[in-house]
Amino acid sequence: MGCAMGDPPHLPPFAICIPGDEQAVRNGLAEVLLCLKPLALSAEDTNTIELVLAETLNNVIEHALSDSSAPTRIEIRGAFCAADGLRMTVIDHGAPMPAGKAPTSKTPDLDVSTDDLPEGGFGWFMIHALASEVRYARVGESNHLDLQIPVGL
C-alpha cells in the first residue's frame, strides 16, 4: 500500500545529511526526530524510530565507511503517510553489503555461558524485529537501505 495521490500527507517528505562519523549520529537522530515532531508520535513510536535509525547509522559507520579515509556523508530521507507509517531511506557511499544484501534477522545465540555471549549481531536482529520492511540495494556507488516502520498506525 501507499499514500494515494489524493491523500493529504501527514508530514512532508524530508531529507537530512550528516557527516559519516560517530559524533554525527546523535545530531542526525535529533534532526530526524525534529522533522517528525508534527506527527506527535507516542514515546514508544519515537523510541522505535530512534533505535532502528541509531542501529542503522552505527552499522553504516562501523562497516560501510570503516575503510573510508575521505570525509563522507550519510543522507536520511523520510516520509510518512497513515497507510504505511514511516518510510526512511539511508544512503551512504561506502563499501557494499557482503553478498549484495542486508544481513538477515537471525537471533543471536544466547544459550551460552556469559563469557561466550556474542558482542555483536543484535543490531540487525532489532532492525528486522522493529521494521515491517527492510530492503537493501546498491545503486551505482551508493548503498540504499529502505526501512518501513509501522508507527502512528
> Measuring CA to CA, how many Å separate 148 from each of 49, 61, 78, 104, 136?
10, 21, 10, 16, 12
Sort 125 into a burial class: Cβ within 10 Å, 0-12 / 13-18 / 19+.
middle
Q: What is the pLDDT of residue 99?
A: 85
45 part of a folded domain: yes
* More confident call, 124 vs 50: 50
69 part of a folded domain: yes
Q: What is the pLDDT of residue 153?
A: 62
Q: What is the pLDDT of residue 32?
A: 96
What stretch of H or E contains 89? strand 85-92
| 10 pLDDT more than 80 | no
| 22 pLDDT more than 80 | yes
8 part of a folded domain: no
1 part of a folded domain: no
54 part of a folded domain: yes
Q: What is the pLDDT of residue 101?
A: 84
Distance CA 30, CA 17 (A): 12
Structural domain span for residue 100: 14-149
5 part of a folded domain: no
| Structural domain count of the chain | 1
* More confident call, 147 vs 115: 147
pLDDT class of 73 with cuts at 50, 70, 90: very high
Residue 102: CATH number of its domain? 3.30.565.10
6 part of a folded domain: no
Q: What is the pLDDT of residue 25?
A: 94
4 part of a folded domain: no
pLDDT class of 129 with cuts at 50, 70, 90: very high
Q: Among candidates 63, 59, 72, which has minimal Cα distance to 134?
A: 59
